[in-house]
Structure formats: structure tokens, C-alpha cells
Homo-oligomer: A and B are copies of this chain.
Amino acid sequence: MKVRVAVQLKGGILDPQGKAVEQGLHGFGFSVDKVRVGRLIEFEVPASDAETAKAQAQAMCDKLLVNPVMEKAVIEVVS
């Protein structure tokens, strides 16, 4: 099954990449605020149902994909 993991910095954590993008957009004349840049990780797991796929993805987040001190992840089973 295809799984999508969206990883973002937690609310209180400074996001320099987001600030840089925000300044770039302002430079182009765009009105934009609160820009945050995160990671989007997509992959396929050999699971037969969505619940198993989600559990596998959660284990991957805990082991490697997410830094739980600074980041939060949202797991979504796509298909």
C-alpha cells in the first residue's frame, strides 16, 4: 500500500528554511505569512490493509523518519 508521511517542525520551533522562502516570496511581491517548510515522504509497504500499513509507517517514523523532539508527523495511507 502507498503511504504518505508529512513531517513538519513543531509550532514553537524556528524554521529558517520557511523564513528564507517567505522572504523570497515577499521579494517577488507576494503577500504571504507563516511559511513553514517540511518533508513529504512517500513509499510503498507490503501490507494487506490500511491499519497494518499505518502501523508500519509509524514504526518507521519512530526509528528513522522523524525527530520527535522537534518534529511532528502525519501519516496517511493513500491506497
**A42 contact set on B, CB distance < 8 A:** 8, 34-36, 38
- Inter-chain CA distance A63–B28, complex, in Å, is 8
Interface size class of A (residues with CB under 8 A): 20 to 34
Decide: A37 and B46 in contact? CB cutoff 8 A: no
Copies of this protein, total: 2
Interface residues of A (CB under 8 A from B): 6-8, 18, 21-22, 24-25, 28, 30-46, 56, 59-60, 63-65
| Pick from B18, B28, B63: contact of A64, CB under 8 Å | B28
Decide: A43 and B38 in contact? CB cutoff 8 A: no
Q: Chain B: which residue is nearest A35 at the CB level? A: B43
Q: Chain B: which residue is nearest A47 at the CB level? A: B31
